[in-house]
């Protein structure tokens, strides 16, 4: 492998200035106008670069998606870079978490997940565009607007682009001291609807069939499916039920999150959850849901891509270690059919919190790593 030349352009202060511009445009998933405002800035920052920009209009109240394609290499499978512009933080959160720098840490809503990573990947692409000769493979960076809610309007686009690509790089944040992600659990979401029989809790309780009591039994069944040894986690995260303390509750409801490391385990557990039955006569249990993100299992192609990245990192001067994680990303959608490397974004901590931060010392080497991948993948 040819050792990549490292440009001097990736100074942390310059990168941080660009990230700040993005962070200070708040972009919660549910605010399409704000996400679109950021998408416009992202597109403008590619002015003068040899790229083609495709803006895909949003739907269902979500923002637009943006595809930035190099003007070379689009006639064959190339490199797809997956990024997202939306954040979990609500509008106005920047008042609580303003952009600020404290030593090696820079704070701000979405700075770690994932505006920092998305920005350095874009800057690496712009740097490639400034140089000659151009790298062997074309690069497409896809910025989506709805990753934080499971990518309902972008999944089809991600899968289409992923199937056309030879490699997929995901700019989600690094894990645990800069580790790169080569596996993620699959994610399934379910809703549980329980219908009982109402009654007066004081005068005729025997006439009732409590939906809340039945929900308790359903929760016990769901909790029993947890199996840490096999990497299975089932979490009942939302419950509701009843109307008054003196009424036997007619209805109850729950929302459930399932994480599984392999397709085989998904095929085992998902039907068990969908097939839950009532324990009480006169009560109905209905479960809806599906596997939202398939498991991202470390494949031979993914392992080879990691080894390539690890070699580049060593030449830059840092050790790259891989890890599997329970959180999902858009990489889950592409890993089943295209070599995918995730966690290429910035290092930091506190994603989705009031102390979200990136480590400034990670900016230059992570930008260099992405640049090296763009340069040397063939």
Q: DSSP character for 290?
A: E
Query: Tens digit of pLDDT for each residue in 117-161?
Result: 999 999 999 999 999 999 999 999 999 999 999 999 999 999 999
- Asked whether 199 and 247 are in contact (CB, 8 A), the reply is yes
Query: Tens digit of pLDDT for each residue in 213-222?
Result: 999 999 999 9
- Asked whether 121 and 371 are in contact (CB, 8 A), the reply is no
Q: Taking 70 as the threshold, does the pLDDT of residue 53 lie above it?
A: yes
* Span 69-90, average pLDDT: 98
Query: Tens digit of pLDDT for each residue in 332-372?
Result: 999 999 999 999 999 999 999 999 999 999 999 999 999 99
Q: Taking 90 as the threshold, does the pLDDT of residue 7 lie above it?
A: no
Sign for the CA dihedral angle at 224, 273, 335, 140 comes to negative
- Asked whether 83 and 322 are in contact (CB, 8 A), the reply is no
Q: What CATH number was assigned to the domain covering residues 12-185+296-376? A: 3.40.630.10
Q: Give helix then strand counts, H and E, for the chain.
A: 10, 18
Name 286's Cβ contacts closer than 8 Å, sequence gap at least 6.
Answer: 192, 193, 194, 195
* Full DSSP string of 81-116: EEEE--BSSPTTHHHHS--EEETTEEE-TTIIIIIH
- Structural domain 186-293, CATH architecture: 2-Layer Sandwich (3.30)
* Span 48-72, average pLDDT: 98
Q: Taking 60 as the threshold, does the pLDDT of residue 114 lie above it?
A: yes
Other C-beta atoms closer than 10 Å to the C-beta of 144 total 28
CA atoms of 86 and 153, how far apart (whole Å): 13
Q: Taking 90 as the threshold, does the pLDDT of residue 375 lie above it?
A: yes
Of the pLDDT bands very low, low, confident and very high (cuts 50, 70, 90), residue 5 is: low
- CATH 3.40.630.10 placement within the chain: 12-185+296-376
Peptide bond into 114 cis (omega under 30): yes
Of the pLDDT bands very low, low, confident and very high (cuts 50, 70, 90), residue 208 is: very high
Sign for the CA dihedral angle at 227, 229, 231, 235 comes to positive
Counting beta carbons within 10 angstroms of the beta carbon of residue 340, is it exposed (0 to 12), middle (13 to 18) or buried (19 or more)?
Answer: buried
| CA terminus-to-terminus distance, the chain | 10
Chain length of the chain: 378
Of the pLDDT bands very low, low, confident and very high (cuts 50, 70, 90), residue 176 is: confident
Share of the chain above pLDDT 90, in %: 96
Half-sphere exposure of 254 (CA within 13 A, CB side): 26
* Span 20-40, average pLDDT: 98
- Asked whether 146 and 63 are in contact (CB, 8 A), the reply is yes
The phi, psi pair for 242, rounded to 5°, reads 75, 170
As beta bridge partners, residue 343 has none
Query: Tens digit of pLDDT for each residue in 255-311?
Result: 999 999 999 999 999 999 999 999 999 999 999 999 999 999 998 899 999 999 999
Mean pLDDT computed over every residue of the chain: 96
Of the pLDDT bands very low, low, confident and very high (cuts 50, 70, 90), residue 373 is: very high
The pLDDT of residue 9: 76
- Asked whether 178 and 101 are in contact (CB, 8 A), the reply is no
Tokens of 296: 């991202």
Q: Taking 60 as the threshold, does the pLDDT of residue 1 lie above it?
A: no
Of the pLDDT bands very low, low, confident and very high (cuts 50, 70, 90), residue 71 is: very high
The pLDDT of residue 2: 52
As beta bridge partners, residue 120 has none
Q: Taking 90 as the threshold, does the pLDDT of residue 3 lie above it?
A: no
* Span 242-246, average pLDDT: 97
CA atoms of 264 and 110, how far apart (whole Å): 34
- CATH 3.30.70.360 placement within the chain: 186-293
């Amino acid at each position: 492998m040819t050792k990549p030349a490292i440009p001097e352009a990736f100074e942390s202060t310059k990168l941080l200035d660009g990230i700040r511009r993005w962070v200070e445009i708040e972009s919660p998933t549910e605010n399409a106008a704000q996400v679109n405002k950021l998408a416009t800035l992202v597109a403008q920052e590619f002015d003068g670069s040899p790229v083609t920009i495709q803006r895909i209009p949003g739907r269902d109240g979500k923002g637009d998606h943006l595809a930035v394609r190099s003007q070379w290499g689009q006639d064959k499978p190339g490199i797809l870079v997956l990024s997202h512009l939306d954040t979990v933080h609500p509008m106005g959160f920047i008042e609580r978490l303003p952009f600020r720098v404290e030593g090696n840490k820079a704070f701000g809503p979405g700075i770690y997940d994932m505006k920092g990573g998305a920005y350095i990947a874009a800057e690496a692409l712009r740097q490639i565009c400034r140089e000659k000769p151009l790298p062997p493979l074309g690069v497409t960076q896809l910025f989506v607007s709805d990753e934080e809610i499971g990518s309902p309007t972008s999944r089809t686009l991600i899968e289409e682009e992923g199937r056309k690509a030879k490699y997929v790089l995901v700019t989600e944040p690094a894990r645990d001291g800069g580790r790169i992600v080569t596996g993620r659990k699959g994610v399934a979401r379910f809703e549980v609807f329980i219908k009982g029989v109402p009654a007066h809790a004081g005068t005729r309780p025997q006439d009732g069939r409590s939906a809340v009591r039945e929900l308790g039994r359903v929760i016990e069944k769901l909790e029993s499916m947890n199996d840490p040894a096999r990497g299975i986690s089932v979490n009942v995260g939302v419950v509701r039920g009843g109307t008054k303390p003196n009424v036997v509750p007619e209805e109850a409801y729950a929302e459930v999150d399932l994480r599984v490391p392999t397709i085989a385990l998904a095929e085992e557990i998902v039907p068990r959850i969908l097939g839950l039955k009532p324990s009480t006569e006169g009560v109905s249990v209905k479960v809806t849901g599906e596997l939202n993100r398939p498991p991202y299992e470390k494949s031979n192609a993914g392992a080879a891509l990691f080894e390539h990245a690890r070699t580049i990192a060593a030449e830059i001067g840092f050790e790259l270690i891989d890890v599997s994680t329970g959180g999902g990303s858009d990489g889950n959608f592409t890993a089943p059919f295209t070599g995918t490397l995730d966690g290429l974004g910035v290092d930091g901590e506190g994603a989705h919190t009031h102390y979200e931060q990136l480590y400034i010392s990670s900016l230059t080497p992570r930008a260099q790593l992405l640049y090296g991948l763009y340069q040397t993948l063939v």
